[in-house]
Amino acid sequence: MVTPVRRANNRNDRLLDEAARLFAAQGYRETTMRDIAAAAGMLPGSIYYHHPSKTELLVAVYEKGVEGLCQRFDAAVAGVADPWERLGKALDVHLETVLDQSDYARVMVRVLPEHLPGSAQELARLRDGYEDRIAGLIDALPLNGGIDPKMLRFLILGAANWAQTWYRPGMTSPAEVARQFLLIVQRPMEGSVG
């Protein structure tokens, strides 16, 4: 039994996949519509049937990236109560997704909203869908006196995002990076060790 209805969608899915791969690997500006079209097996003009502009194509990729990351995040922390354990799961998901599994997520890390003046707000709004989850998670941590949760969040997200610039498959597993990062920032709960 054939599924002819699906065919159309597959072409756009392919388009998004290739766009994500190229944006992640080369950057947004460095990737041309020709590059994407060629990779997706269509002509440059054909992209415009699916997406009205290069910017909107990026937004579509961003959207899928955020959605995927959020789903993985939600699934990973679901049912975990301990705040530090939740952070551990989140770091794990973030690093595995960004370093290993999703071009869409890689785009989110590589292409920053403020680098596309025209769509900065839209991209930032999408991004916040994920970053707010991280913020909530960190605000729930019992922190030693003097540590600003916002700064802890900036440090963790910064370190995790920056990993994309130095990580190469084969050196360590993303999970091991996550474990190390957690080890470094994890402080004993206030009063428990002294």
Pick out residues in 16-45 that bind a second copy (CB under 8 A): 27, 29-30
Indicate which single residue of 17, 38, 39, 42 sits in contact with DNA (rule: CB under 7 A): 42
Residue 61 to residue 53: CA distance in whole angstroms: 13
CB 73 within 8 A of CB 88: no
Q: Does the footprint of DNA cover residue 84 (CB under 7 A)?
A: no
With CB under 5 to 8 Å by kind, the binding choice for 112 among DNA, a second copy, none is a second copy
Hey, what are 3's tokens?
């599924």
- Residue whose CB is less far from a second copy, 75 or 154: 154
Count of residues that interact with DNA, criterion CB under 7 A: 24
CB 96 within 8 A of CB 178: yes
Crossing angle of helices 54-77 and 4-26, in 10° steps, is 90
Q: Does the footprint of a second copy cover residue 158 (CB under 8 A)?
A: yes
Indicate which single residue of 115, 124, 128, 190 sits in contact with a second copy (rule: CB under 8 A): 115
